[in-house]
Amino acid sequence: MQIIVPKFITRAHIQQLNGRCNFIFGDNLEKKGYGGQAKVARGEPNAYGVPTKVRPCMNYDDAFFYDIDYDKIVPKIDEAIDLVPLDKPIVIFPKIGLGFSELDVRAPRIYKYLIVSLINKFGHLLVNKRDYLING
């Protein structure tokens, strides 16, 4: 079976693929809020958040990850990735860590760790500008 993953993932798309595939989206440590990728993924049974921010706020510097906290944050990323079941194809949200979390700018070492960990665990990371197919 091939699954079409659109450039822009919607809640309807996640719901339509429930039972056929699992999604990974950028989340915060508090697992709260509906901004960014969480807007379409939070609360869906086949969507799993991986921390890319401390909390869902854009107004305070302490809401973001910084590389100085690398040793504290990496285990939390690992814990979240380990919770994702491998019984179905995995879809990783395009541009994870590049949106509201500003992870690539504020914590480039943590961002690199996140991307490498996702690739190592799931075998792919497609940051694309168009629809793509995965086998499932």
How confident is the model over 47-101, as pLDDT tens digits? 999 999 999 999 999 999 999 999 999 999 999 999 999 888 888 787 889 999 9
- Determine the pLDDT at residue 5: 59
DSSP class of 93: P
By the 8 A CB rule, do 89 and 19 touch? no
pLDDT in tens, 106-125: 999 999 999 899 888 887 65
Among positive and negative, which fits the CA dihedral 130, 112, 81, 88?
positive
| Beta-strand runs (E) in the chain | 2-5, 22-28, 47-53, 90-92, 132-135
- Determine the pLDDT at residue 97: 92
